Structure 1
Amino acid sequence: MRIPTTAQSMNDSLTAYLRRLPAGVRVNLAVQSLADSSESFVQGATDQVPSASVIKLPIMIEAMEQVKAGRLDLDEIHILTDGEKVGGDGVLKTYSHRSRVAYRDLLRLMMIYSDNTATNIFINELGMDAINRRIQALGLSGSQLNRVMMDTLAVRQGRENYVTARDMNRLLGKLYRNEVATPELCAHMIAILKQNEDMATIPKRLPAGTVVAHKTGTLAYIRGDAAIVYAREPFLLSIFVAGVPTPQAEQLIADISLICYTHFARP
């Protein structure tokens, strides 16, 4: 689909693009400049959506808050057991029983490779209640962790993890402004997010070399991405797409990202 390149405003361009989408496609979107709070666009930004792996963002934040409080040491070694391994994304499921893995590496695996086993280790170590208290303390009123990764029984029972596009922008904005944990730990988290290996969504159509700090998520019925995009004017972008197969959802996210980038990269 053609991306507007004229002086047309971002809001007009996004509105026009979204209106052309087929019936049945659902896009939940929040765009926010990090330099000018008046530059923003939302569509369904407060609607709860299944989070997929984007829920790993607040899990990472709680981990770093516990590092700050001295309750978690990233250099401590975790002894991986076969009973902890789950399927889906990640490499820990291939490790030998009783492999030694530092929490620092577990964090990288959770965020860069979306490792589900690493995520469940953190949920169990940090505590689901503590993670949800952190979510509420951050003002993420539409987000909640209700199950561990790959818990198919919980899904069948209707227990899902939820976020909103607005919440994820709020969280990433706090991270960008060093408003969680410590400035050093915020820098560490952003550095990890910049290494995300899933490039099929927000970064896909952006100019080569564009830096994106983001966390993606994929389920059979939704594709999402939440990012800090380092355009000439940095901006926050959280998008969730449902109602189309994953490849089409990825293309929609990439198109919307390019519209936003074109606006924030202007001279």
Structure 2
Amino acid sequence: MTESTTPDHSRARARARIRDAFADAGVTGWLHARDVDAGTQVDAGADQSVVTASVHKLCLLVALHREADAGRLDLTEQTVVPPWDRTPGPTGLAAMLDEVRLSLRDAAHLMMTVSDNTSADLLLARVGLDAVNDTTRRLGLTRTRAVQTFREFLTTIREDVGPTGPQALADPRVIARLRAVDPARTSHSTPRDMTRLLTAIWRDEAGTPDHCAAMRRVLGLQVWPHRLASGFPFDDVHVAGKTGSAPTVRNEVGVVEYPDGGRYAVAVFTRAATPAATLPAADAVIGTAARIAVDALRSPGTAASTGAP
């Protein structure tokens, strides 16, 4: 797909507004947005290596569907999940108390819609880290890599926090030593790689049309409205996405679809200056920054622009 940028003045203005929004919210942020069909882009730190956290579940979803398409697994395959061996988390199977039987595609539904860690690790055990990384490599995501399971990701936090326990996460010095917030030591990507992946899904290039349609459907069922979707509070604008979180880390990637047919892939990754777990402004700025970028892509003259990324 041919890539192009917005006109220089429009791009610079949008970048400045995005950085101001990040600063006002008390975060450092990185963003990339692209028109799925025209290829025009807005770049605000698009090639920064970032911690993906649960955003990497999107890569796992694509790998799962490609494995199914290759005949190496059946999405309707049933699995039993016992109550005593589950990856921690507040949602989905991770929070349930009894034995559960479900299909792989239903586990994928829980993984994407409520970011269930147990479902993600169940699928990762079936697909494998190597297949996830082979998938991203084949799709041209040269700076994206999964290095651990979600259980291992959470274990590093527990180990790095030490015997004091979760309350130690209020200390910025503790946050600074967490492997989970260092992209060199955990699963990572860049905003540009993530919009490339989303664009491939929306253009039926990440798999067969049927598999890409299934991925788009489940991304559209995510329940969280407080980040990316908050920037597009309109009944006729559809937002499909995947969040990711860790101490001081708040992310979301997704596609915004307008009723006139416009489709825009957006990836926003942030680090907060404060370790507070509840920061509404830090969540909301993901939607604000995305809206600024999409408005720039929809501005007159953008679709005709050309140039290097």
Superposition TM-score, scaled by structure 2 size: 0.77
Unaligned runs of 5+ in 2: 1-8, 161-177, 180-184, 301-309
- Identify the structure with the greater helix proportion: 2
Shift in Å, 1:198: 1.0
- Map of 1:3 onto structure 2: none
Residues 173-184 of structure 1: matches in 2 within 5 Å?
A: 173-184=199-210
Aligned length: 259
Q: Which residue of 1 aligns with 2:290?
A: 257
Q: Matched residues in 1 for 2:21 and 2:86: separation?
A: 43
Deviates more, 1:71-80 or 1:250-259: 250-259
Select the residue among 17, 33, 46 that pairs with 2:35: 33
* CA–CA separation in structure 1 for the residues paired with 2:245 and 2:28: 15
C-alpha displacement of 1:19: 4.0
Compute the displacement of 1:138 (Å).
Answer: 1.4
Q: Matched residues in 2 for 1:264 and 1:143: separation?
A: 25
Alignment map for 1:82-231 (pairs within 5 Å): 82-151=83-152, 152-155=154-157, 156=160, 158=179, 159-209=185-235, 210-231=237-258
Pairwise mapping of residues 9-24 of structure 1 onto structure 2 (< 5 A)?
9=10, 11-19=12-20, 21-22=22-23
Shift of 1:84: 3.3
In the aligned structure 2, how far is the partner of 1:143 from the partner of 1:19? 27
Q: CA deviation at 1:93?
A: 2.5
Q: Helix, strand or coil: the match of 1:225?
A: strand
Identify the residue that residue 4 of structure 1 maps to in structure 2.
Answer: none
Higher relative contact order (CA 8 A, sep 6+): 2
- Please state how far the C-alpha of 1:56 moved relative to its aligned partner: 0.4
Which digits, 9 at most, give the CA deviation of each residue in 1:77-115, with x for residues without a partner? 101123431212422124455421111210100000100
1:206 CA drift (Å): 1.0
Deviations 1:166-185 (A, max 9, x none): 11101011101111221011
Q: Contact conserved, 1:76 with 1:103, CA < 8 A, in 2? A: yes
Amino acid at match of 1:163: S
Distance 2:188 2:133 in 1: 11
CA distance in 1, matches of 2:287, 2:206: 29
Cα distance change, pair 17–266 in 1 and its aligned pair in 2 (3 A): closer
1:238 is aligned to: 267
**Residue 243 of structure 1: CA displacement?**
2.5
Change (3 A) 1:78 1:42: same
Gaps of 5+ in 1: 1-7
Q: CA RMSD in A?
A: 2.2
1: CA distance between counterparts of 2:72 and 2:263? Answer: 33
Q: Measure the CA separation in 1 of the matches of 2:14 and 2:143.
A: 27
Asked if structure 2 preserves the Cα contact closer than 8 Å seen for 1:58 and 1:131, the reply is yes
Paired amino acid for 1:222: V
Counterpart code for 1:227: G
